[in-house]
Amino acid sequence: MKRGFRYRFYPSEVQAAELSRTFGCVRKVYNLALQARAEAWTLRGERVGYGATSALLTAWKRTEELAFLAEVSSVPLQQALRHLQTGFTNFFAKRARFPRFKSRKKSRASAEYTRSAFRWRDGALTLAKMAEPLDIRWSRPLPAGAVPSTVTVSRDSAGRWFVSLLCDDPAVRPLPATDAVVGVDVGLDHLLVLSTGEKIGNPRHERRDRERLVKVQRALCRKQKGSSNRARARVAVARVHARIADRRSDFLHKITTRLVRENQTLVIEDLAVSNMVSNRKLARAITDAGWRQFRRQLGYKAKWYGRQVIVVDRWFPSSKLCSVCGALVARMPLHVRTWTCGCGATHDRDVNGARNILAAGLAVSVCGADVGPQRNPPGGRSAAKQKPRGASRGSLLVHEEEEVNCGTTRLRRRRAPACWLPR
């Protein structure tokens, strides 16, 4: 399986200048091609593909205005056109929005080199148009005998340089099957609560560095716009944010790897994070928790190691449902962390929610429903969760859907709530 290995490197002044020119040319070609394709469709109703934009690139290099495009390697420019083609393909398949223009200040500065544009010899990487290899800090070894097929060079907002090597990794293979299953409920007080009763604390990385972040942000606001001092202050702010993001990513990688290795089936809840951050009181805490990054890591690692991730619908009343008798509580405010059901069972709100999430996910394997995306024509058998006592039938009917991109299985309600109906 292909896997990317990312390392930090320190370019010389000549290499940094060459890469900066390449980043600018990649951005310019991408924007020109996007404009040409959009105008061709809007004005003339013509579809322009990758082949036509590649011919346009050759013509652009011959003009006096864009002659500088010929000074850098042509491979990253061609790769930019391929990425644009992928963006349009995803747009027409309704998997993504319409491609947007790249910004010099906001977009990610990167360039992708294929096998013909770099030399890999004795562990040294030399890119096209460069005489010396990159000074890479090998924080971890590459797989034995691995030869990169694609190299991606990038620079983040903090001024750090990274190189990502795409190689075949024989270590990524399915793990031995196990009978362990777990339900996971995400939160803010505790980052994760498992159906086993285990609670994983929330490190709150942004809160720990908030004083430092406030200090550098205030210094940035005092600098005159367009000055060199403001540019240096902006980099100082970016470094603090990068430190926070790195610590958060490292923590989530350790947690997701452990969960995937220990469990065969993992059941999580489908949360609309983009909608939840509209709450001004909780937006900072939700963003700092990294729920979306947790789900993304869990998805692709489960696909790597032969595990199953089941996603329960966001409207499933996991917190208000008694995991013992199945009684549904009408109202459960957020400040209620412990409650007692009419059957006499006392529940921790988060642990009870994780157990209900697990029960809803296991209903799929019990009922043996066919797996198929919702957009496909009907015909498969739907999986209906067994109706617990005191719960409404319409709120618990679910069916299984496979998410091909991240290797997860999604559970959706068959009966839409009132807020989904057209007005």
Q: Which residues are the active-site residues?
A: 185, 269, 350
* C-alpha–C-alpha distance, residues 33 and 10, integer Å: 32
26, 27, 109, 153, 404 from 104: Cα distances, Å: 11, 8, 8, 16, 33
Residue 125 is classified by DSSP as E
Q: Give the list of residues 6+ apart from residue 118 with CB closer than 8 angstroms, or none.
A: 125, 126, 127, 128, 148, 151
Beta bridge partners of 4: 166
Largest separation between any pair of C-alpha atoms in the chain: 82
Amino acid, single-letter form, for residue 199: K
Residue 217: its H or E element: helix 210-221
Q: Give the list of residues 6+ apart from residue 412 with CB closer than 8 angstroms, or none.
A: 313, 374, 398, 399, 401
What is the dihedral sign for C-alpha 174, 176, 182, 184? Answer: negative
Is 169 in contact with 175 (CB distance < 8 Å)? no
Residue 138 is classified by DSSP as -
Give the closest residue to 298 by CA, choosing from 262, 252, 343, 341.
Answer: 252
Give the closest residue to 234 by CA, choosing from 222, 249, 248.
Answer: 222
* C-alpha–C-alpha distance, residues 152 and 150, integer Å: 7
* C-alpha–C-alpha distance, residues 77 and 301, integer Å: 31
Amino acid, single-letter form, for residue 63: T
